[in-house]
Structure 1
Amino acid sequence: MTLDAQEAHAARRTGLNGQAPRCDHLDQLPAVEHGRAECEECLTLGQTWTRLLVCLTCGRVACSDDSRGGHARDHYEETDHPVVAALDRRSTWRWCYVHRRTV
Structure 2
Amino acid sequence: MPIQACEHVPADLAQPHTPQGCEDCLKTGDTWVHLRLCVHCGHVGCCDSSKNRHATKHARAEGHPVIQSIEPGEHWMWCNAHERQVG
Task: Tell me the TM-score normalised to structure 1 length.
Answer: 0.71
Larger helix percent: 1
Q: Does 1:71 align with 2:16?
A: no
Alignment of 1:55-66 (within 5 A): 55-66=38-49
Q: Which moved more, 1:65-74 or 1:31-40?
A: 31-40
Q: Which consecutive segments of 4 or more residues in structure 1 shift more than 3 A? A: 18-22
Aligned to 1:33: 15
Aligned to 2:80: 97
Give the alignment's Cα RMSD to 1 decimal: 2.0
Cα distance in 1 for partners of 2:48, 2:73 equals 20
Percent identical among aligned pairs is 34
Larger strand percent: 2
Cα distance in 2 for partners of 1:70, 1:88 equals 16
Task: Tell me the TM-score normalised to structure 2 length.
Answer: 0.82
Larger radius of gyration: 1
Cα distance in 1 for partners of 2:3, 2:25 equals 34
Say if 1:39 and 1:19 are closer, same or farther in 2 by CA, change over 3 A: closer
Q: Does 1:24 align with 2:7?
A: yes
Paired residues, what number? 85
Say if 1:21 and 1:67 are closer, same or farther in 2 by CA, change over 3 A: same
